[in-house]
Amino acid sequence: MKRIIALATTLVMILMFAGCAASNTENQSKAETKAAAASTSEAADTTTAEKNDTDNSSKALVAYFSATGTTERVAKVITDCANADIYEITAAKPYTSADLDYNDSNSRTTKEQNDNTVRPEIGSKKIDLERYDTIFIGFPIWWGEEPRIMDTFVESYDLTGKTVIPFCTSGSSSIDTAADNLKANAKSGDWKDGRRFSAEVTKNEIDEWLKTL
Ligand SMILES: Cc1cc2nc3c(=O)[nH]c(=O)nc-3n(C[C@H](O)[C@H](O)[C@H](O)COP(=O)(O)O)c2cc1C
C-alpha cells in the first residue's frame, strides 16, 4: 500500500512539474511576443523621428493671394504636384465685390492700383520661411499689375537665399510687369521667370510647367 501511495505522489509531482513547465513556456512566449512588440514599437518611434527629420528638411512653399478663387485653384494644384506647403495671404480687411469693381473709378481696388505706395495690411498669421528654399508666389492681375497686398507680402519677409517663382492668373494680361515690380520691391531672393495662367488652365499644363523648373 505504501508503495502505491509513493508512486501516486511521484506521478502527481511529475504532472505538476510538466504543467508548470508548459505554463512557463507559455509565459516566456508571451514575454517574447511583448518584447518583440516593444522593439517593433521602438523601431516605429525611430522611423517617426527620422520621418519628422525628413519633414523638417527644406521644401517648397506656395504663398498666394486670391480674391475670387481662381489663383487659389492653381495654387492648390502646384502645392499638390510639387509636394509643397501652402500659405494663403489674406487681407486684414477682406475685399468685397464692390471693392473689386474695376468699372468703378472709386472702388478700393481701383484706388489701390492707382497708387503703388499703398500697402494693404495682411490678415493671415505671419509664416516662418526658414525651412523653405523655394517659394511660389501667386496672385491675380489687377490693372496689369500685382495687387498691392503682394507688395506688402514681399516687403515683409527676407527672401535671401530663396528661389522665388511668381505665378498669376488673369483675364489676358501677362505677369511681366507684376513680376518686375515684386522683384524690385522684395530686394531679396533669386527671382525666376513668372508664369501666367488662365482660369481654364488644366492640372496637366501646370504639371508640365513645374517639370521645366
Ligand atoms: C480689380 C480687378 C482688376 C483686374 N484687372 C485685370 C487686368 O488688368 N488684366 C487682366 O487680364 N485681368 C484683370 N482682372 C481679372 C483677374 O486677373 C482674373 O479674374 C483673376 O483670375 C482673378 O483671380 P482670383 O480669382 O484669384 O482673384 C482684374 C480683376 C479685378 C477684380
For the chain, strand residue ranges (E) read 59-64, 85-88, 132-140, 163-169, 190-191, 195-197
Grade residue 53 by pLDDT with cuts at 50, 70 and 90: very low
Does residue 41 register a pLDDT over 70? no
Write out pLDDT tens, residues 120-158: 999 999 999 999 999 999 999 999 999 999 999 999 999
pTM of the model: 0.78
How many angstroms separate the CA atoms of 48 and 134, rounded? 25
C-alpha angle with apex 117: 115 to 119, nearest 5 degrees?
A: 105
| Pocket residue to mutate for ligand 1, from 66, 74, 102, 148, most atoms within 8 A of Cβ | 102
Identify how many contiguous H helices and E strands the chain contains and give both numbers: 6, 6
CA of 168 to the centre of ligand 1 (A): 9
Distance 197 CA to ligand 1 centre (A): 11
Ligand 1 site-directed mutation target among 72, 170, 200, most atoms within 8 Å of CB: 170
Arithmetic mean of pLDDT, 45-55 = 36
Q: Which atom of ligand 1 is nearest to the CA of 71?
A: 26
Beta-bridge partners for 86: 62
Q: For ligand 1, is residue 107 a contact (CB within 6 Å)?
A: no
Of the two residues 164 and 47, the one the predictor is more confident about is 164
d(CA 158, CA 67): 25
